[in-house]
Chains A and B, each alone.
Chain A
Amino acid sequence: MSLRSDEEVSPEYQDEDSALTLDALAFFGRITANVSHEFKNRLATIKEKAGLLADLTAMAEKGIRPLDLARVNTIAKDIARQVETADGACLRLNRFAHSVDVPERREDLVELVSLITRLIERQAVVAGVEITLGSCPKVEVETNPFLFQQVVYYCLLWALDHAQTRALSLDVGRSEEQAFVSIKGAAFDELVQRPSNRLVRALRKLGGRLEANTGEKEVTIRL
């Protein structure tokens, strides 16, 4: 059986729990694939920089060109910077992986939204869209962190495909005692009127709902 995160589960898996499990696996798979892609890119750059050091050293040994120590230092710093970037991606992946540890816990939604937007950064770059999260104070709620990220991810994925500008902006807050996440920058009416089955399932399980604000080109996820 093959299942991609951008596809619906096939009809034989339509019972809610099986479908939710497969949705979760597909989501998890997609995120880990994104991060592994980021690792590959960083490793490729590190390999080229290290190779460059080897080439420059070999040329110096053969008397072709003297070794420029300032250049060597710059390349070494570049390598360290690439390692830091990869390490950041590794930390985010680890935090994401631990979001399945417990079905419900007290979480800061701002942190979760920040995490998921960073995890799909490369997808956004390839789509030519910049995702920004406003400066929001902590919004702590009892929730299922994995499902919450899944819902935000589905909405962001939809927004990347339907973005009307090159920018999506996110906001997290509370209104009338309800926590919310809003995404602005795409016409979300269709997402709210005809959401995918996987989004409906995840929202139902999470106990959340979606609202589109047509004029503002905004969707709000309410918990």
Chain B
Amino acid sequence: MAETIKVLAVDDDQDFLDAFAERMQIHGLSVTKATSGIEALSKAEEQTFDAVILDMAMPQMDGIDTLKRLRKINPDLQVILLTGHATIDKSVEAIKLGAIDFLEKPAEIDAVMDRIKAAKFARMLLVEKKTEERIKKIISDKGW
């Protein structure tokens, strides 16, 4: 049986977040919710996620700031930004900081699911690559 994809959804709009998270759950994902950047950081420290869907405009700590800090906690984290109005400047900044994709509100659930599956796949490749590198290093260190 395929492993459930674990997603962290971050948005300060509680009404939106509740409905969005429930829909993702109906579509088979395991969803953890956070209503602020600070809460998202705390959840990311507690557990590993296959993907994070992160709102750009939030009080106190915006999406870009949260992205920077999430990547410090886990550099392999696959972050998809969700925004009302994507600007080129912000998009470039986010991609430079390691975001893998953008979704514009309101988003189609199929588009969300495709991005999350791609994020999960990208994370699996990263994990495999790191495992392979570790094995190669062990072989090299042992002189096998």
Q: Do A and B bind each other?
A: yes
User: Does A17 lie at the interface of the complex (its beta carbon under 8 Å from any beta carbon of B)?
Assistant: no
| Cross-chain contact B57 with A126 (CB below 8 angstroms) | yes
Bound: A41/B82 CA distance, A: 11
Q: Which residues of A contact B109 (CB under 8 A)?
A: 51
Please, which residue of chain B has its CB at the minimum distance from the CB of A65?
A: B26
- Cβ < 8 Å to B, chain A residues 34-50: 36-37, 40-41, 43-49
User: Does A29 lie at the interface of the complex (its beta carbon under 8 Å from any beta carbon of B)?
Assistant: no
Give the dominant DSSP class at B's interface.
loop
Which listed segment binds A: B16-24, B41-49, B91-99, B129-137?
B16-24
Given known contacts A41-B16, A44-B84, A78-B15, is B26 in contact with A55 (CB within 8 Å)? yes
Please, which residue of chain B has its CB at the minimum distance from the CB of A124?
A: B59
Could you name 23 residue pairs across A and B whose Cβ atoms are closer than 8 Å?
A37-B57, A37-B85, A40-B85, A43-B105, A44-B16, A44-B84, A44-B105, A44-B106, A45-B15, A46-B106, A47-B106, A48-B16, A48-B20, A49-B19, A51-B19, A55-B27, A56-B26, A75-B19, A78-B15, A125-B12, A126-B57, A126-B59, A126-B62
Bound: A222/B64 CA distance, A: 39
Bound: A43/B104 CA distance, A: 12
| Cross-chain contact A82 with B57 (CB below 8 angstroms) | no
| Cross-chain contact B59 with A127 (CB below 8 angstroms) | yes
B-binding residues in A (CB < 8 A): 33, 36-37, 40-41, 43-49, 51-52, 55-56, 59, 75, 78, 82, 122, 125-128
Q: Which residues of A contact B122 (CB under 8 A)?
A: none
Q: Which residues of B contact A37 (CB under 8 A)?
A: 57, 84-85
Given known contacts A55-B23, A126-B59, is B106 in contact with A43 (CB within 8 Å)? yes
User: Does B107 lie at the interface of the complex (its beta carbon under 8 Å from any beta carbon of A)?
Assistant: yes
Bound: A45/B13 CA distance, A: 9
Residue interface mask B1-33, A partner, CB < 8 A = 1? 000000000001101100110110011000000
Q: Which of B12, B105, B109 has the most CB of A within 10 A?
A: B105
| Cross-chain contact B19 with A52 (CB below 8 angstroms) | yes
A162 vs chain B, min Cβ distance (A): 17
